[in-house]
Structure 1
Amino acid sequence: MSIILRFVSASKAETYNLLRAVLNDKYKNESVVVDKNRGWARPGVIETMAQVLGHQPKIIATVRPVADCVASFVRLVKPDNVSELVKTSPLIEHLKFSYQSLNAGFAAYPNCFLFVEYDKLVSNPAIELQRIYDFLELPTFTHAFDAIESTVIEDDEAAWGIKDLHTIRPTVKKIAPPAIDVLGEKLHDYFDVPECWNLNKPVKPRVKLLDDALALALNGDFVNAESVLDIALQLDPNDNRALFNKGWYELARGNLKKGMQLIACGRHEKRVRESTAVRYAYVVWTGFNR
């Protein structure tokens, strides 16, 4: 016979007290506990930790441009189709989640964060580590940056299907080519998003044809709106967002099959900046099996 115990908290305070008791028991001899989890940056988690600890947690966020992170994954995976990897890889979804959590957490609790930028870390590792020691209020330790030993072994191939995803090289140095050389201009622009840790980042001007098409349609000028979409598709026939919008015009003309096929292209689009991704609960119908 199995007995299942179900604990129901009467209040947030009771939950906080329970978590505090677990921490005090597990880490009773530790003054500083470091845990690696990108979910710590979420505002709700920070709020809970502040209540449990009695003070706000300190979050060290190692950051680099999102496009650089994607390019790093591409170099490791070496896919035959880079665009398909970007659309389907759980690593990219995890990256988007991390980026969104970081932005939301920093907006709500900016004083909890210390940003450590990749380029600065590989250029001046001693300076960046000193910033970390100062942030944590710990005594400085002198590191050797050309004889690094990796003491943690992670089975990346089983977890992510990518061997050596977290392998640490013995020397701190930058060896990667520019992300745009790996991704190409279109994918690089797709992931070239604002950075909360770098508010002075220059924004690349872009031709926003889809915005123009939408503005025309909202004003009732559907003929010119569709013409703008056609221009966008001439520039990039595989632009899923343009194809999605074009589908509505096909439906309006009574072209049901073609319209639905084009609208289905929108399934492949999950913008990095979106706080949530559209989830489809139904299997896509591909026709009768004969």
Structure 2
Amino acid sequence: MSRTIHFISGLPRSGSTLLAALLKQNPRFHAGMSGPMGGLFSTMLAEMSHRNEMAVFISDEQRKRLLHGLFDNYYGPETDAEVIFDTNRSWTTRLPAIKTLMPNSKVIACVRDVQWIIDSVERLVRKNAFSPSSIFNYNPGGTVYTRANGLAGSDGMVGYAYDALKEAFYGPEADRLMLVQYDSLVKEPGLTLAAIYAFIGEPTFKHDFDNVEYDAREFDLRTGTPGLHDIKRRVAHEPRESVLPPDLFRRFENDSFWKQAENNPRGVRVV
């Protein structure tokens, strides 16, 4: 593939859809919401492992070609962009493979204070009171506490992504990782995009922060979570009060490890 591939990953409800909507304004770029490539990548890795007795016929070089071929074929002639951003929360667990397969690729991880991520999901639950969400396996029961515990667990939507982010942040491939804070993206979108362009080595582009478009309504309806990928037309910071009980909000207040310089031994770029 002659095109350049970069990756968007990080925490849920942290601006990845907004970032993709902005990036795709550039006619040289292709970007979108979380897609199937992360799952396809993992499935192919598993099927080529030695749990499959036929794996004896597959060399590591063949594995690399097959995995690289996933991107070649998925983003085939239907996508004519020169630069592709593939979005999936699992990419922060794949930095060693990405480094080998695509040495020039970078991973942009969107992050946000965890208490506000939990708050954002809870707002969706309350907004869609008559539509149980796939986030909770369509279970209409539980309380705000059980929902928060489920989200934050190691296999929950937030907990998995959080652990994967820390794996990348503290791993030896951290030089190809950039963290983009949600507040930076909505308060200073121009400066944030400029930092991203510099990180990936691309010439800057004049984005329109007053007319941002992205439509994932059909997908969101299928997941029982209308509004999951909605973005405002104008990029702006909108302060609000949390809907979480105060003790639950405080539980996650110290989880933003990327904000303390002493917690960043590898010098990961944080915007």
Which letter does structure 2 place at the counterpart of 1:190?
Answer: R
Q: List structure 1 runs of 4+ shifted beyond 4 angstroms.
A: 24-31, 88-92, 151-154
State the Cα deviation string for residues 187-216 of structure 1 (Å, max 9, x = none). Answer: 1122224334212599xxxxxxxxxxxxxx
CA contact (8 A) 1:146 1:170 kept: yes
CA RMSD of aligned residues (A): 2.9
Instruction: Identify unmatched segments of 5+ residues in structure 1.
Output: 1-5, 203-290
Matched, 1:183 2:215: no
CA contact (8 A) 1:154 1:166 kept: no
Q: What displacement does 1:107 show?
A: 0.7
- State the distance in 1 between where 2:195 and 2:66 align: 33
- State the distance in 2 between where 1:81 and 1:40 align: 31
Tell me, what secondary structure is at the counterpart of 2:179?
Answer: strand
Instruction: Identify unmatched segments of 5+ residues in structure 2.
Output: 1-51, 130-141, 264-271
- State the distance in 1 between where 2:257 and 2:176 align: 14
State the Cα deviation string for residues 145-194 of structure 1 (Å, max 9, x = none). Answer: 122122444522322x221111111111122424xx42222111222243
Q: 1:23 to 1:83 in 2, by over 3 A?
A: closer
Which letter does structure 1 place at the counterpart of 2:246?
Answer: E
Matched, 1:39 2:90: yes
Q: Which residue of 2 aligns with 1:252?
A: none
- State the distance in 2 between where 1:13 and 1:158 align: 39
- State the distance in 2 between where 1:114 and 1:187 align: 29
Which of 213, 228, 239 is 1:165 aligned to?
Answer: 228
CA contact (8 A) 1:194 1:201 kept: no
Q: Which residue of 1 aligns with 2:63?
A: 15
CA contact (8 A) 1:46 1:57 kept: no
What are the within-5 Å matches in structure 2 for residues 188-199 of structure 1? Answer: 188-199=249-260
What are the within-5 Å matches in structure 2 for residues 38-77 of structure 1? Answer: 38-42=89-93, 45-53=94-102, 55=103, 57-77=105-125
Tell me, what secondary structure is at the counterpart of 2:193?
Answer: helix
Q: Which residue of 1 aligns with 2:30?
A: none
State the Cα deviation string for residues 72-126 of structure 1 (Å, max 9, x = none). Answer: 1111211793223223469991111111100111111221111111111111110
CA contact (8 A) 2:112 2:182 kept: yes
What is the TM-score normalised by the length of structure 1? Answer: 0.58
Q: 1:136 to 1:165 in 2, by over 3 A?
A: same
Which letter does structure 2 place at the counterpart of 1:199?
Answer: Q
Q: Which residue of 1 aligns with 2:199?
A: 135
Which of 214, 225, 237 is 1:150 aligned to?
Answer: 214
Q: Which residue of 2 aligns with 1:118?
A: 182
More moved, 162-171 vs 89-98 = 89-98
State the Cα deviation string for residues 240-287 of structure 1 (Å, max 9, x = none). Answer: xxxxxxxxxxxxxxxxxxxxxxxxxxxxxxxxxxxxxxxxxxxxxxxx
Q: 1:73 to 1:22 in 2, by over 3 A?
A: closer
Aligned residues: 191
- State the distance in 1 between where 2:120 and 2:199 align: 28
Q: Which residue of 2 aligns with 1:264?
A: none
Which of 69, 73, 96 is 2:159 aligned to?
Answer: 96
What are the within-5 Å matches in structure 2 for residues 182-221 of structure 1? Answer: 182-200=243-261
- State the distance in 2 between where 1:128 and 1:36 align: 18
Q: 1:134 to 1:23 in 2, by over 3 A?
A: same
State the Cα deviation string for residues 17-76 of structure 1 (Å, max 9, x = none). Answer: 22234444555776532100010001xx111122222x1531111111111101111112
Higher relative contact order (CA 8 A, sep 6+): 2
What is the TM-score normalised by the length of structure 2? Answer: 0.61
Write 1 or 2 for the structure with the bigger share of helix.
1
CA contact (8 A) 2:215 2:230 kept: no
Tell me, what secondary structure is at the counterpart of 2:240?
Answer: coil
